[in-house]
């Protein structure tokens, strides 16, 4: 293994650690907060329910984009730039 490959592997490990340390906790906290908010919505409050649903979809979409970037190596390549 050459220096470039070793650096690339190290960078990928750092990106995965960052995701694990920060982003996973962020998503868990946000999803928990939204779940708690859902339990507080009164029956018939469609505006709050719609807003909560849109927020949850946005969080899930962001989570998927981060995972796709991680899986494709885009985050590692961006870190090397």
- Could you read off the pLDDT of 21-65 as tens digits, one per residue? 788 889 999 999 999 999 999 999 999 999 999 999 999 999 999
The answer as to whether 23 is a domain residue is: no
- Say how far apart CA 45 and CA 53 lie, in whole Å: 12
pTM > 0.75: yes or no: no
Query: So what's the pLDDT on residue 80?
Result: 52
When divided into structural domains, the chain yields a total of 1
Query: So what's the pLDDT on residue 30?
Result: 93
Do residues 63 and 27 touch, judged by C-beta distance below 8 A? yes
The answer as to whether 55 is a domain residue is: yes
- Say how far apart CA 33 and CA 12 lie, in whole Å: 30
Q: Domain range spanning residue 72?
A: 46-81
The answer as to whether 25 is a domain residue is: no
Query: So what's the pLDDT on residue 17?
Result: 81
């Amino acid at each position: 293994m050459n220096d470039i490959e070793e650096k690339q592997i190290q960078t990928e490990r750092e990106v995965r650690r960052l995701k694990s340390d920060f982003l996973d906790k962020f998503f868990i906290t946000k999803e928990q907060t939204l779940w708690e908010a859902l339990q507080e919505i009164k029956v018939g409050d469609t505006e709050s329910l719609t807003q909560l649903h849109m927020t949850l979809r946005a969080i899930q979409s962001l989570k998927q984009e981060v995972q796709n970037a991680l899986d494709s190596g885009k985050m590692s390549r961006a870190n090397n730039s």
